[in-house]
Structure 1
Amino acid sequence: MDTRKTRKTRFATLRRGPMIPAPTLVLIAGTLFSQVGDSLASLGMVLSAADHGIRWGVTEVFLAELIPTVLAAPLVGALVDRLGARSMCLWALAVQSLSLGVAAAVDGFHLRVALIALSGLAGVASVTAGFKMLPVVAGEKHTGRANSLLTAGLSAARLIGPPLAGFLHSVSGTAFLLGADAVSFLVLAWCTALAVPRRTDVVIGRRPAAKLSDGYRALRDAPVVGLLLPTLAAAMLATSVETVAGVFYLRDVADGNDTLFGFFLATWALGSVPGALLAGRADWSARHTALILGGVLGISVALLSAGLLPVAAVIFPLFLLGGFGNGVCNVGLRNAVHSQVPAEVHGSAWACYQALSRICIGLGFVLGTPNSLVSSRGQVILSGAVPLAFSLWALLGLARRGQPFLDESPAEIREVSG
């Protein structure tokens, strides 16, 4: 027996296993480039509001990014399912690029915010269409791995974007950052046209009679997502509460050291990268329940412990854990929607989930605002305790149903849910 030949064959098999099609990598690369551009524009507008002392300016920017998704997502998702994902994505990216380009050219803070809101509205279509096209470009075999790489890359982009935006804003100003974001959408459009074949809409299938309620119904009827939707909502609410309350709590822990505070935030994003990559392993990518619940448990324990233990040396590893859970949960959710929701309503389902997430995020921003009832530390503790309670309740529900947690398969899930 030729041992060297056997080893070589095995190595080749292992090397081919995790590979995903080149067009998928092109699409993911374009998406990540665009995400960095979004970070530049968003933080540029926030810094512009601060520089000019515009009261409520920061809140205005955040609302401009949230409200279009909440209001328009069901309609836009239905349009993507009716008209086709590829064409809708390219048109939406063109509108986003044009909106940001005009925003870079004009003056006036509020006019720029309005153009960002228009870009956000078009962004609902491009993000929804991108979600729908990914399984077709990657193939069913590689969809889990593609979701893993995309999620990890988005975390890395969010890690790179803010410090780069701060540096470029100090050198070139807000208009340059808005223009850079406009260019990033053109790059993503080029990558999409290159990576996604014209026949994609035929392969996916359309639903000419798509209704606004189809997306919510699809999420509710998906065995794993429907069961864990309250837990996911609690996790999104908790992390957005911590986003606001943590500014005050973590700066106290850091004794006002803004550099240390920045490292706290970076640690969470850093932890999400390996979490997303590991969740894309072939032996884990189909375990949707374990990934989602395990991820939320990681987030919950990290936030709760960080609130109970106000020590910088302890918070760093806890935020790595929280970020790791965040990455794992995001991959599990995307895989679950892709595999358990019919392809012809992927657009509606993902758009509706985006709307639900923005509602939770907006509410979390409000609840995390400092008040006289609960201290910022208390808000951080609650942000960990609430999703932890929801996670434990979901685990109890799974045990009662006899639904698998660590050793699940699509056949088993269909049998239990049926």
Structure 2
Amino acid sequence: MPVAAQVLIAGTLFSRLGDTLATLGLVLHAADRDIRFGVTEVMLAELIPTVLAAPLIGSVVDRFSARTVCLWALLVQALSLGAATAVGGFHVRVALVALSALAGVASVAAGFKMLPAVAGEQHTGRANSLLTAGLSVAGLIGPPLAGFLNSLWGTPALLAADAASFLVLAGCTVLAVPSTVDVAIGRRPATRLADGYRALRDAPVVGTLMPALAAAMVATSIENVAGVYYLRDVVNGNDTMFGLFLATWALGSVPGALLAGRVGWSDRHSLLIIGGVLGIGLGLLLTGLIPVAAVIFPLFLIAGFGNGACNVGLRNAVHARVPAEVHGSAWACFQALSRSCIGVGYLLGTPNSVVSSQGQVIISGVIPLAAMVWAAVVTLRRGQSTVTEPSS
């Protein structure tokens, strides 16, 4: 893989780690100060702006130079987090984080668009594999690191670290993507807000399996909330064991992502997505049905493995099946779809008097399995109609 792609991936991972520090720093601050609905406010600040503005931002990425858009977006993110470091009000800080999240849609979409141009078509699958595995590692080490640094220096230091991480990523982007590369990155003079959604819907593999992918995202989000209560009950309130459950999922996703990037696997988009969603669904379903810690650990490894493979399969499928000139819009719109699914999952996983937390985890496993069965039926029907259609 070209060194330029490795530099871009390293910068992206460093920036993602910074995001984890900043988000958890604000969450811990809200919890420590007992700010009413503070944790929810932080989550919504990163969720709602992305869902509403992603189509517009994606069209900007496709209309102009992806490199230029990425650098400007990273500058906005760095300035937003830098300002959040300087101000003292919690709600003002959250508003600045929301602004950074908006700019983040542009930088992430532009980064997705630039990766094939930097890595080369033959190495894009491997680059997506390494990036996905690295994001899993960042998600694994980010929370404990945030807790440790927050106890030492407080939330402003974590926000400052995030601001610095965007400047590091900007530097990596300048090094990895010279201005001369821009001509190789597809640009579309005129774009419409719905282009990204249409591109995802019409793309082979991606369009067919998008409902199953959405179901998997809803399912994991349900478990993220309901699992806090269910898994802690399983281990009798032992927070260390609960943390190990979460780490096990992240550990499983690393080999899943790496395997999906191996030669002979990276172009099997349908297999990676279908197998990944099945692994997630089965892992969650059996986790809910068998409340035994010794059993849940390997189930979380399986579900995490599927999660990693599925993520790589999706990225590769979009890169390969969606035209390059709408990569920015397509990935921005996928971010909006994923955030929407996450929001729905959080609501469905919220404790209530109708379904127990164990029942919610079981439901979270059923949802992706049912969606995959539906996708298989639709695919078979389409195949049969193609075969039986009379020739003219």
% of aligned pairs identical? 75
CA distance in 2, matches of 1:284, 1:355: 28
Which letter maps to 1:186?
L
CA distance in 2, matches of 1:152, 1:42: 21
Residue matched to 1:118? 99
Residue matched to 1:277? 258
1:24-173 matches, cutoff 5 A = 24-173=5-154
**2:272 maps to which of 285, 288, 291:** 291
Superposed CA RMSD: 0.9
TM-score normalised by L of structure 1: 0.91
Range with bigger deviation, 71-80 or 194-203: 194-203
CA deviation digits over 1:228-275, x for unaligned, max 9? 111111110010011000000010011000000000011101100000
**1:337 maps to which of 311, 315, 318:** 318
CA distance in 1, matches of 2:180, 2:322: 21
**2:209 maps to which of 222, 228, 231:** 228
CA distance in 2, matches of 1:199, 1:302: 46
CA distance in 2, matches of 1:391, 1:22: 38
Residue matched to 2:389? none
Query: Shift in Å at residue 399 of structure 1?
Result: 3.6
Residue matched to 1:15? none
CA distance in 1, matches of 2:198, 2:378: 21
Residue matched to 1:267? 248
CA deviation digits over 1:192-233, x for unaligned, max 9? 000012123211121111110110110011010100111111
CA deviation digits over 1:373-418, x for unaligned, max 9? 1000000000000111111222233344449xxxxxxxxxxxxxxx
The answer to whether 1:302 aligns with 2:280 is no
Residue matched to 1:315? 296
CA distance in 1, matches of 2:128, 2:26: 30
1:345-356 matches, cutoff 5 A = 345-356=326-337
The answer to whether 1:194 aligns with 2:175 is yes
Query: Shift in Å at residue 83 of structure 1?
Result: 1.1
Residue matched to 1:326? 307
Residue matched to 1:366? 347
CA distance in 2, matches of 1:345, 1:394: 25
Residue matched to 1:406? none
Which letter maps to 1:91?
W
SS in 2 for 1:248: helix
Query: Shift in Å at residue 93 of structure 1?
Result: 0.3
CA distance in 1, matches of 2:156, 2:185: 39
SS in 2 for 1:223: coil
CA distance in 1, matches of 2:323, 2:226: 39
The answer to whether 1:178 aligns with 2:153 is no
Residue matched to 2:388? none
CA distance in 2, matches of 1:194, 1:73: 27
Which letter maps to 1:145?
R
CA distance in 2, matches of 1:399, 1:262: 42
Residue matched to 1:240? 221
CA distance in 2, matches of 1:282, 1:72: 37
State the number of aligned residues. Answer: 384
Which letter maps to 1:79?
V
TM-score normalised by L of structure 2: 0.97
CA distance in 2, matches of 1:318, 1:402: 34
SS in 2 for 1:199: helix
1:18-29 matches, cutoff 5 A = 20-29=1-10
In the TM superposition, structure 1's runs of 4+ consecutive aligned residues that sit over 6 Å from their partners are: none
Which letter maps to 1:130?
G
Instruction: Point out where structure 2 has 5 or more consecutive residues left out of the alignment.
Output: 385-392
CA distance in 1, matches of 2:123, 2:109: 19
Which letter maps to 1:75?
L
SS in 1 for 2:335: helix
Residue matched to 2:372? 391
